[in-house]
Amino acid sequence: MDDDSSPRNGLTRRRALAGGAVAASGLTGGCVETVEQFFGGSSRPQISVEIATVPADKDSRLTSITSTLVDRLEAAGIATEFLLLPIDQLRKKVLTNRDFDIYVGTMAADRDPDYLRPTFQSPYSNELGWQNPFGFADHGADSLLDEQRHQRGQQRRETVESALTDLAGEQPIVPLLSDTAIAAVRRTRFEGWERVRARDPLWLLGLDTAAGRSRNGRLRLTTREKVQTERLNPLLPTFSEFDILTAYLYDPLARYYDGQIRPWLAQSWSVDASAGEIRLELYPDLTWHDGTDLTAEDVAFTYRFLSDMSMGSGETRHPAPRFRGQSTLVDSIAVEGDRTVTISVRGDLEVGKKALTAPLFPKHVWKSQTDVVDESTGLTQAVTWDNAEPVGSGPLAFESRTVEESLVLSRHSQHPINREGTELFERFGPLAFDSLRFRVVPSARAGLTLLSDGEADATVPQLGNEMVSHVQDEPTVDLVTSPSRTVYHIGFNMRRRPLRNPGFRRAVARLLDKGDIVESIFDGYADPLPTPMADPEWVPTQLAWNGSDPEVPFAGTNGAFDVEAAKQHFEDAGFQYTDDGRLVY
Amino acid sequence: MALFEVLTQVTAVVALALGISLGAVVGFSRVPRTRQQLVAQLRVVIPYLLFLGLALGVTSLVRGVGPDISWAIGFHLSPHIYDIEGKFVAWLQTFQTPVLTTYFSAIYVYGYAYLLVFPIVAYALADRTKPLRLLILAYVLNYVIGLVCYILFIAYGPRNYLVGEGILYSFWPQAQFLTSEVNTNTNVFPSLHTSLSVTIAMLAVMTRDLYRRWVLIAVPIAISVCLSTMYLGIHWAIDVLAGIALAIVSVYGATRLDSHFEQGIAGGRLWFRRGVSAARHWWSTVKE
* pLDDT of A21 higher than 80: no
* pLDDT of B192 higher than 60: yes
* pLDDT of A525 higher than 80: yes
* pLDDT of A4 higher than 60: no
The region of weakest confidence among A104-118, A377-391, B27-41 is B27-41
Residues A440-463 have pLDDT tens digits of: 998 888 899 999 999 999 999 999
* pLDDT of A15 higher than 70: no
Q: How far is B183 from chain A (nearest CA, A)?
A: 11
Per CB-CB distance under 8 Å, the chain B contacts of A1 are: 86-87
Burial of B113 (0-12, 13-18, 19+ CB in 10 A): middle
Residue A543 binned pLDDT confidence (cut-offs 50, 70, 90): very high
Residue A585 binned pLDDT confidence (cut-offs 50, 70, 90): confident
Interface test with B, best of A13, A71, A445, A470 (most B CBs within 10 A): A445
Q: Does A1 touch chain B (CB under 8 A)?
A: yes
Instruction: For chain A, give the mean pLDDT.
Output: 89
Per CB-CB distance under 8 Å, the chain B contacts of A82 are: 79, 82-83, 161
Residue A10 binned pLDDT confidence (cut-offs 50, 70, 90): very low
Cβ-based neighbour number of residue A313 at 10 Å: 12
* pLDDT of B261 higher than 80: no
Per CB-CB distance under 8 Å, the chain A contacts of B75 are: 22, 26
CB contact under 8 A, A56 and B78: no
Q: How far is A347 from chain B (nearest CA, A)?
A: 44
CB contact under 8 A, B75 and A443: no
Report the relative pairing of strands A277-282 and A340-345 from DSSP bridges. Answer: antiparallel
Please report the pLDDT score of residue B33 as a whole number: 61
Measured between CA atoms, the residue of chain A closest to residue B87 is A1
Average pLDDT over residues A312-333: 91
Please report the pLDDT score of residue A242 as a whole number: 80
Average pLDDT over residues A1-10: 36
Measured between CA atoms, the residue of chain A closest to residue B75 is A26
As a whole number of angstroms, the longest Cα–Cα distance in chain A is 79
* pLDDT of A434 higher than 80: yes
Residue A225 binned pLDDT confidence (cut-offs 50, 70, 90): confident
Q: How far is A55 from chain B (nearest CA, A)?
A: 5
Residue A231 binned pLDDT confidence (cut-offs 50, 70, 90): confident
d(CA B228, CA B108): 6
CB contact under 8 A, A84 and B78: yes
Q: Percent of chain A, pLDDT > 90? A: 76
Please report the pLDDT score of residue B282 as a whole number: 79
Domains delineated in chain A: 3-178+485-584 (3.10.105), 225-440 (3.40.190.10)
Burial of A96 (0-12, 13-18, 19+ CB in 10 A): middle
* Cα–Cα distance list, A404 to A221, A401, A438, A439, B35 (Å): 15, 9, 11, 9, 48
The region of weakest confidence among A158-162, A331-335, B241-245, B267-271 is B267-271
As a whole number of angstroms, the longest Cα–Cα distance in chain B is 86
* Cα–Cα distance list, A116 to A52, A86, B233 (Å): 23, 26, 41
The region of weakest confidence among A338-352, A382-396, B40-54, B82-96 is B40-54
Q: Percent of chain B, pLDDT > 90? A: 47
CB contact under 8 A, A83 and B79: yes
CB contact under 8 A, B174 and A446: yes
Q: Is-contact A440 A456, C-beta < 8 A?
A: no
Question: From the list B1, B76, B80, which residue is nearest A18 (CB)?
Answer: B80
Instruction: For chain B, give the mean pLDDT.
Output: 87
Please report the pLDDT score of residue A567 as a whole number: 96
Per CB-CB distance under 8 Å, the chain B contacts of A442 are: 176-177, 179-180
Q: Does A405 touch chain B (CB under 8 A)?
A: no
Per CB-CB distance under 8 Å, the chain B contacts of A60 are: 162
Please report the pLDDT score of residue A36 as a whole number: 52
d(CA A410, CA A249): 10
* pLDDT of A32 higher than 60: no
Please report the pLDDT score of residue A67 as a whole number: 96
CB contact under 8 A, B166 and A455: no
CB contact under 8 A, B162 and A82: no
Residues A66-96 have pLDDT tens digits of: 999 999 999 999 999 999 999 889 999 999 8
Interface test with A, best of B91, B161, B184 (most A CBs within 10 A): B161
Average pLDDT over residues A220-226: 91
* pLDDT of A307 higher than 90: yes
Q: How far is B61 from chain A (nearest CA, A)?
A: 18
* pLDDT of A303 higher than 90: yes
Please report the pLDDT score of residue A244 as a whole number: 85
Please report the pLDDT score of residue A38 as a whole number: 57
pTM of the model: 0.86
The region of weakest confidence among A130-139, A481-490, B62-71, B125-134 is B62-71
Average pLDDT over residues B167-186: 75
The region of weakest confidence among A75-79, A92-96, B56-60, B72-76 is B56-60
CB contact under 8 A, B159 and A56: yes
Q: Give the residue, A34 or A273, on which the prediction is more confident.
A: A273
| CA proximity to A432, closest of A462, A395, A479 | A395
Per CB-CB distance under 8 Å, the chain B contacts of A21 are: 80
Please report the pLDDT score of residue A173 as a whole number: 97
Task: Dump the DSSP string for B183-238.
Answer: --TTB-SS-HHHHHHHHHHHHHHHTTTT-HHHHHHHHHHHHHHHHHHHHTTSS-HH
Residue A19 binned pLDDT confidence (cut-offs 50, 70, 90): very low
Per CB-CB distance under 8 Å, the chain A contacts of B162 are: 56, 60, 63-64, 67
Per CB-CB distance under 8 Å, the chain A contacts of B78 are: 83-84
Average pLDDT over residues A188-212: 93
Question: From the list A22, A63, A453, which residue is nearest B160 (CB)?
Answer: A63
Most confident of A498-512, B5-19, B72-86: A498-512
**3-class DSSP state of B150:** helix
Please report the pLDDT score of residue A140 as a whole number: 94
Please report the pLDDT score of residue A116 as a whole number: 95
Average pLDDT over residues A47-63: 94
Interface test with A, best of B76, B167, B182 (most A CBs within 10 A): B76
Please report the pLDDT score of residue B285 as a whole number: 76
Average pLDDT over residues A138-167: 95
Q: Is-contact B110 B227, C-beta < 8 A?
A: no
Residue A34 binned pLDDT confidence (cut-offs 50, 70, 90): low
* pLDDT of A577 higher than 60: yes
Q: Give the residue, A32 or B84, on which the prediction is more confident.
A: B84
ipTM of the complex, rounded to two decimals: 0.83
Residue window 428-467, chain A: list those with CB within 8 Å of chain B: 442-443, 445-446, 448-450, 453, 455
Residues of B within an 8 Å Cβ radius of A: 1-2, 71, 75-80, 82-84, 86-87, 156, 159-162, 166, 169-170, 173-174, 176-177, 179-180, 185-186
In single-letter form, the type of residue at position A125 comes to S
CB contact under 8 A, A56 and B161: yes
Residues B113-156 have pLDDT tens digits of: 999 999 998 888 888 888 999 999 999 999 999 999 999 999 99
Per CB-CB distance under 8 Å, the chain B contacts of A2 are: 86-87
d(CA A84, CA B157): 10
* pLDDT of A125 higher than 60: yes
* pLDDT of A414 higher than 60: yes
CB contact under 8 A, B82 and A56: no
Q: Does A64 touch chain B (CB under 8 A)?
A: yes
